[in-house]
Each structure stands twice: as C-alpha cells, then as structure tokens.
Amino acid sequence: MLSEINNDMFANVVKTNPEFQALLQTIIDDNKKTTSMFVHELRNPLSLLKGTLQYIEQQHPETASYKYWNQLPQLLSDMEQIMSDASLLNTCNYLHKDTTNLLTLIQNVTGSFMPQAITANIDLSLSIEPGSEEYYESYLCDSIKMKQVFSNLIKNALEAVAPGNFIHISLTYLPGDDAVPSKLSFEISDNGLPIPEDALKDIFIPFITYKKGGTGIGLALVKKVVDLHYGNICVSSGEHLTSFTVLLPL
C-alpha cells in the first residue's frame, strides 16, 4: 500500500513527466493480465471439483452423513468468493476520469443511505465548510469508482454503530503554499464500536477482515481507488470516535 509521501511523489512525477504515466499504465496492464489469467485457470479445476462432489453425493447419498462432508461445498464457495474479489480488485486498475460534481455525488450517496439510518435510529449528517463548495463542484476523477469509495465508507460506518449513535460526514479542503487549496478532505466519523488497535495496521490489506462474514475487500477497494487518484486515506479510532479521512489532490 502506498503512503501519503509516495502518493504525493507519484502525483508530482506524473504531472512533470507524462511519459512516466504511460510506463506506469503498462505495468498496471501487465499485472491485470497476469491476475486475470491466474483467476481464469483456477476457475476451471474448481468447477470440475464442485461437479465431482455433486456427482459423488448423488451416487452415494450416504456421504452426506459424513462428519465433514458439508464443509466441502462451503470451502469451495469461499474459494469462488475470493477469486471474485480478486477479479473485482483487478478491475479497479483502470480509471475513466471526467469532470465531476463531487458535492452532488456525495450528497446523493449519503441520501441513499438515509432511509436505512432513520430506520436504525442513526443520526446521519453531512456538512461542508463554507468556501469549499467550488472545489468539490468541479473535480477530475472516475465518478463511478469514487462513488464506490464513499458508499463503502458509509456502509462500514453503519455496520459499526448502534441505535442512538451518529455518523457525521465533513467536507473541507487543506491549504497548501500561500494558502492555496491543495487537497480536498472527506472525513466520515462515528461513535460506534472502535476498531481494535492491532487491526488498524492492516485494515486496508485485501482479504484481511475482522468483520463476521466479511471478505476484506471493501476497504482494500477504497484504498486502491484513492491511490489511483494520487490521494491518501487514513483512519483513527478510539473509545469515543472512529474517523476515516480521504484526501484528494487539487
């Protein structure tokens, strides 16, 4: 995973050396092809294995009573889910950037979760610092993937809170040299269950999850999309507040 320093360095290198972006894209394309081939080759024997198990059970119904037999289909389903998640991560390597009204996008995403929050008695709110609107209303990004970022973060927050808790989304910008805005800042905070300290260090690593029934893909996707936009994401969590902050370069 890229650090904030690495992302800032990449952004500057790409800005001053267009040929570097072409080289970087070639590396990404090669990696995507390799991953796609790997997943494809695994799917074939996995499908044969599932078919074989079904055939055995049909021909020998008594196998269903074996102590560990029912675990086999579940393990195969888990493998299929992991491969699907790997494919999903793989498709995130491509961005289709266009000038986007991020403010409207975030408002729409937040609004889509509002019925769920109201039903669960969660105080879901959104605020934007005065003077920040113009920087959000015209931003070059992949709007579909950015929507995934904000949706995943709000969804995770809703899963962490209990009735009576709050989730607050704050939009602002960070000043750079000569007080000129340098980054957009999207922060989502909640007072739900804190994230264990030992989980914070690898919370964005694919396939690592501390959530029951989770696959460890949601936050990995968030991190990857933010990285591809040369942005940064960080998390802090304590007894009373958990916050995820996304910074996007201007």
Q: Do 75 and 199 have their domain in common?
A: no
Tell me whether residue 5 is in a domain: no
pTM value?
0.68
Tell me whether residue 3 is in a domain: no
Helix runs in 92-142, H state only: 102-119, 133-136
Amino acid at 194: P
Host domain of residue 47: 11-91
Tell me whether residue 177 is in a domain: yes
Domain boundary among 91, 114, 137: 91
Q: Do 67 and 139 have their domain in common?
A: no
Query: What CATH number did the domain enclosing 200 receive?
Result: 3.30.565.10
Burial class for 153, CB neighbours closer than 10 Å (0-12, 13-18, 19+): buried
Indicate the helix (H) or strand (E) that contains 239: none
Nearest in space to 197 (alpha carbons), one of 237, 160, 233, 157: 237
| pLDDT per residue of the chain (250 residues) written in tens, 0 to 9 | 455 556 566 666 666 777 777 776 677 677 767 777 777 777 788 888 888 988 898 999 898 888 888 888 878 877 776 777 677 667 677 788 899 999 999 999 999 999 999 999 999 999 999 999 999 999 999 998 899 899 989 999 999 999 999 999 999 998 877 766 789 999 999 999 888 888 888 888 876 665 555 556 788 888 988 998 999 999 999 888 999 999 999 8
Tell me whether residue 206 is in a domain: yes
Burial class for 14, CB neighbours closer than 10 Å (0-12, 13-18, 19+): middle
